[in-house]
């Protein structure tokens, strides 16, 4: 049940009987040369479609932009930053709270959003509510370790294939092409980490300092299949629907 499709009297009736809302938070950013900029929004939106088939929890409109400062140099990337994202999410939550929502489930599509969602969730806790953060790609790893992947790799590619195979441009696929951007003996291993003498160290830099395409991870996109993606998203959606049924039982301190 999508909030944007309800009349206000229908929404009023929902909040008189229910206190939970799920909202997806995405991002518009580079995912390699073969993947659409909206990967982190498209996949959560597909998950919401699957969740809607099994759950009566109200679905708020997706927030398509996120905090993606690492990838901001790539064309088309739109970065709200942590502060901008906080302003948007906190205002949306404030509005939902005013109508009776007390349990807010954030279906998150982008790792850079996590710190902001944690801040909002702690503020909900202080008011007597409950904020829950579901990072779909990490949940998928736990549900099946074979699905584990990196940014723009096979896991996300499979997810986009499940949304629409035409969105993956196989002809444009380039290799990951990471290079050491600090010293030749500090091996770049990811967005934040380099490895020196076997020990990971966090050195935060713009992604364009060490790669020219935005795919960063151990899972090669060419391994992705539409079948894998469909199974992964369906399994994850089923888990979320079941989780939210259990979450309905959780007591809250705040009164409506």
Burial class (CB in 10 A: 0-12, 13-18, 19+), 246: exposed
Mean pLDDT taken over the chain? 95
Is pLDDT at 75 greater than 70 in this prediction?
Answer: yes
Q: What percent of the chain has pLDDT over 70?
A: 99
- The confidence band for 177, taking pLDDT boundaries of 50, 70 and 90, is confident
Q: Give the confidence band of 255 by pLDDT, cuts at 50, 70, 90.
A: low
Read off the pLDDT of each residue in 193-198 and give the average, rounded to a whole number: 94
**The token pair that represents 249 in the structure block:** 């039982």
Whether residue 256 has pLDDT greater than 70: no
Give mean pLDDT, residues 80-102.
97
How far is it, in rounded angstroms, from Cα 66 to Cα 85?
6
Say how far apart CA 81 and CA 67 lie, in whole Å: 4
In the prediction, which pLDDT does 226 show? 98
- Work out whether the CA dihedral 167, 169, 175, 178 comes out positive or negative: negative
Task: Indicate whether 110 pLDDT > 80.
Answer: yes
- Mean pLDDT over 52-80 rounds to 96
Contact indicator for 34, 24 with CB cutoff of 8 Å: no
pLDDT of residue 218 exceeding 90: no
Burial 200-237 (b: 16+ CB within 10 A, else e): eeeeeeebbebbebbbbbebbbeebebebbbebbebbb
Judged against a pLDDT cut of 80, whether residue 2 lies above it is answered with yes
pLDDT tens per residue across span 127-174: 999 999 999 999 999 999 999 999 999 999 999 999 999 999 999 999
| Homologous superfamily assigned to 3-147+227-247 | Creatininase (3.40.50.10310)
């Amino acid at each position: 049940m999508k909030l944007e499709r309800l009349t206000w009297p229908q929404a009023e009736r929902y909040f008189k009987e229910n206190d939970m809302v799920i909202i997806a938070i995405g991002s518009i950013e580079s995912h390699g040369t073969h993947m659409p900029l909206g990967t982190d929004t498209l996949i959560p939106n597909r998950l919401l479609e699957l969740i809607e088939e099994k759950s009566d929890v109200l679905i708020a409109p997706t927030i398509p932009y996120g905090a993606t400062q690492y990838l901001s140099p790539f064309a088309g990337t739109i970065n709200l930053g942590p502060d901008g994202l906080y302003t948007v999410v906190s205002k949306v939550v404030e509005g939902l709270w005013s109508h009776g929502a007390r349990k807010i489930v954030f279906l998150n599509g982008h790792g850079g959003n996590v710190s902001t969602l944690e801040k909002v969730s702690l503020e909900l806790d202080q008011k007597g509510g409950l904020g829950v953060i579901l990072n779909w790609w990490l949940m998928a790893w736990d549900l099946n370790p074979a699905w584990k992947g990196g940014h723009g790799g096979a896991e996300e590619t499979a997810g986009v294939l499940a949304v629409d195979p035409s969105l993956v441009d196989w002809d444009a696929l380039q290799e990951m092409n990471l290079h050491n951007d600090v010293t030749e003996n500090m091996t770049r291993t990811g967005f934040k980490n380099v490895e020196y003498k076997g020990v990971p160290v966090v050195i935060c830099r713009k992604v364009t300092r060490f790669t020219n395409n935005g795919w960063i991870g151990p899972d090669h996109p060419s391994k992705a299949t539409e079948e894998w993606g469909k199974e992964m998203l369906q399994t994850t959606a089923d888990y979320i629907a079941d989780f939210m049924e259990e979450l309905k039982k959780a007591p809250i301190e705040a009164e409506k």
